Amino acid sequence: MKYSSVWTAFALAASVVAVPSRRTDFRIKESVAIPRRWVKRDSAPRDLHINLRFALPQSNFPLLEQLLYEVSDPSHESYGAHLSQAEVNELIAPHPESVRQVKAWLASYGLREEDMSCSPAEDWIKVKVPIGLAEEMLDTEYHMWDHPEGDSFVLATAYSLPEYLHEHVELVQPTTLFSRLRSMKTTLHFAPSGASSAAVANAPPIAVPSASNGQVDASCNSTITISCIRQLYNAANYTPLADTGNQIAVTGYMEQFASFSDLQTFFAEQVPSAVNSSFQVVSINGGQNDQSMLGSGEANLDTQFAFGLAHPIPPTFYSTGGSPPFIPDELTVNNTNEPYLEWVEFVLQHPNPPTTISTSYGDDEQSVPTSYATRVCSLFAQLGARGVTLIFSSGDSGVGDGNPDPATQECFANDGTNQTRFLPAFPASCPYVTAVGGTVQIPEVAVNFSGGGFSNIFSQPAYQSQQVENFLKTLPNGTYAGLFNASGRAYPDVSAQAVNFSIVFEGEPAGVSGTSCASPTFAGLVALLNDARLRNGMPSLGFLNPMLYALNGAGFNDITSGNNPGCGTPGFNATVGWDPVTGLGTPSFGKLKDLIGITD
């Protein structure tokens, strides 16, 4: 063990007295303002069953965070000494008194020990109960809530707990989470005619000094392929191995299925060496990958590019179930607006999770209660401490809300004031993940939809403070005053190409754009870097950000042109150094490989 087990001191008066009556001294634990455009419908059926999750305080999370930064900092003596699953669980286990008090309270409602399922560290307790009982336990009311774009959830705008339980419970869900998960994909279109594509392909190569062999095929300025990415990001001549223990994964939500047949067509066209290879499908919460149904642009994009770039590194597609619309007459909640909990809890229980995982989904940060965002972000930190690199798309709405059309964005703070504010994205705003923005063209410029900005929930981590300060000095005094939180966690961290990716969809060539393209692209390159480390007896990179910012631009192509408009403004500008449009820039695999200690 790298540390001695220390329990955080708890002022637990309840530990020496009997458990109070379950119906006395209730006090509101959490309440939220109703987000714009959500409409309350009927009361939820009282016999409808939901899975209530109780998050118990993690006893030593500050120490876990400290160790995460130490094992992720290349200047620290513990760099790369990732924690084991058992070490992480010991650090985040709640105080036994919290477990006792919560279980005793649940038992007072007739719930037996076998009705309660716990995470390995017992920091989560889950029970399946009818709505009527949940309303009694939480002194609340559940209703059906509808969003005009089709989402429908069972939610409460506030809930309460007995006074004595407040110090033992951080949050309860599903309650106040008006989150609308969406893929970060702006467009999907079918490919142009072969004649026009051939004309571009016959043009002379584009000179790019940082690229492999100093040039990139001219066709890459109209269509991005695996070859384009490898050329542009200086990885054309690298071949990974299949047996180093390295793994790569992408996540799928909202019944987004990845087609095996489309993958084979894609491989035949772009990665011939990968033909007849496939990926493992892992089902979470009833997630499927039904091949009798049409595949999806999002899942096909993620699997084709991440796994195509990383082949033959073993790939996994996580299919997490639960998606709207809710069907009330089934008397069970099959949908969920909290899929990250389902997914990350599952992966944390795996003794050997993939070393690189890409997610191209997100939501407006303000739709996520602070308690929920903080807890989910802490789960991401646990994976990072174990040597897993988590990569998220930064969003497709510039500095605005989830609407990719800047002209129709509604950038209002969800705090009752209706003040205009830039709207950051979550989970991209979590300081324990790597957020990837988007670029376009060769030579590269920032693409105008690249999500970026500053969190209103998470404070700015020390690893990026100098680069962010340098950027803020470039803004004229008063620029966007009151529209963003300059002391918040700033994102994206890096960027990659995000426009006109050539995939196969329903057996036909199609083009996709969005930071959904950038995330699996960057993930594929990280998987190659992990391959280089593992085959040389070094540990995986794990949480990237402290290392990336310590490099201070080395190993990256600085993007200095373009902006990300939104909320009726031009947004931020890409500039020299880090910026909230393209981060530190786009990767140069060859340079990064040398910088992480691997030489040919």
Distance separating alpha carbons of residues 274 and 434, to the nearest angstrom: 28
Task: Specify binding-site residues.
Answer: 558-559, 577, 579
Where in the sequence numbering do the catalytic residues fall?
Answer: 298, 302, 516
Distance separating alpha carbons of residues 382 and 372, to the nearest angstrom: 16
Answer whether the bond into residue 404 is a cis peptide, omega within 30°.
no
CB atoms within 10 A of CB 397: 30
Tokens linked to 530: 């992990």
User: Which residue in 436, 416, 465 sits closest to 356, CA to CA?
Assistant: 436
From residue 141, how far is each of 172, 328, 364, 414 by CA, in Å? 14, 16, 25, 21
Cα-based angle 424, 425, 430 (whole degrees, multiple of 5): 100
What amino acid occupies position 460?
Q
Distance separating alpha carbons of residues 381 and 428, to the nearest angstrom: 13
User: Which residue in 199, 165, 28, 3 sits closest to 84, CA to CA?
Assistant: 3
Q: Half-sphere exposure of residue 360, counting CA atoms within 13 Å on the CB side?
A: 35
Task: Specify binding-site residues for Ca(2+).
Answer: 558-559, 577, 579
Asked whether the beta carbons of 341 and 53 are under 8 A apart, the reply is yes
Distance separating alpha carbons of residues 332 and 326, to the nearest angstrom: 9
Cβ-proximal residues to 193 (8 Å cutoff; 6+ apart), any chain: none
What is the phi/psi pair of residue 412, to 5°?
A: -115, 135
Cβ-proximal residues to 553 (8 Å cutoff; 6+ apart), any chain: 577, 578, 584, 585
Asked whether the beta carbons of 109 and 180 are under 8 A apart, the reply is no
Q: Where are the alpha helices (DSSP H) in 311-390?
A: 339-348, 370-385
3-state helix/strand/coil string of 139-204:
CCCCEEEECCCCCEEEECCEEEEEHHHCCCCCEEECCCCCCCCEECCCEEEECCCHHHHHHHHCCC
CA-based max dimension of the chain: 81
3-state helix/strand/coil string of 495-513:
EEECCCEEEEECCEEEEEE
Specify burial of residue 190 (Cβ count, 10 A radius: 0-12, 13-18, 19+). Answer: exposed
Asked whether the beta carbons of 485 and 425 are under 8 A apart, the reply is no
